[in-house]
């Protein structure tokens, strides 16, 4: 799938749509999900134009890949849900049709602040 510059997260990255920002650096932007599924529901997205995790793995630089993984950990620490600062959390990425992905810009969901239950429902 080619990247759609008008997807909602692309608009958030361009500041065309507001978000409740949690963290930002050279590689990632993190903000709260508009429709939280758990007490804490954050999203972490790369700044680069990647549709999904497969696109990212195939095409992102090593620095971008490291930056995204580090970014997830930094956000978890900031939200006090990491193993350093809290009781843990779940990271989830939906990928394409069978994964149930709705927004075609790679994003990781971080769920925490309470027990998040079974892995797949």
Residues marked as catalytic: 107
Tell the residue number behind the tokens 């990491």, with chain if given. Answer: 82
Residue 65 — φ and ψ, nearest 5°? -65, -45
What CA–CA distance (Å, rounded) separates 5 from 120? 31
The answer to whether the beta carbons of residues 32 and 41 sit under 8 Å apart is: yes
Site string for ligand 5GP, 80-99 (x = CB under 6 A): --------------x-----
Residue 33 Cβ, how far from ligand 5GP at the closest point, in Å?
5
**101 is a contact residue toward ligand 5GP (CB under 6 A):** yes
Cβ neighbors of 37 (< 8 A, separation 6 or more) are 109, 111
**103 is a contact residue toward ligand 5GP (CB under 6 A):** yes
- Residue 42 or 74 having the CB closest to ligand 5GP: 42
**58 is a contact residue toward ligand 5GP (CB under 6 A):** no
The answer to whether the beta carbons of residues 32 and 113 sit under 8 Å apart is: no
**27 is a contact residue toward ligand 5GP (CB under 6 A):** no
- Tell me the number of residues near ligand 5GP by CB under 6 A: 13
């Amino acid at each position: 799938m080619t990247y759609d510059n008008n997807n909602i997260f692309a608009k958030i990255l361009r500041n065309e749509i507001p978000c409740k920002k949690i963290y930002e650096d050279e590689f990632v932007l993190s903000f709260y999900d508009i429709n939280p599924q758990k007490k804490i529901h954050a999203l972490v997205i790369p700044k680069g134009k990647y549709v999904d995790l497969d696109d990212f793995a195939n095409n992102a630089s090593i620095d971008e890949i490291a930056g995204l993984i580090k970014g997830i950990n930094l956000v978890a620490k900031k939200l006090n849900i990491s193993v350093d600062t809290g009781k843990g959390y779940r990271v989830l990425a939906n990928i394409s049709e069978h994964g149930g992905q709705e927004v075609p810009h790679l994003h990781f969901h971080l769920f925490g602040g309470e027990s998040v239950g079974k892995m797949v429902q």
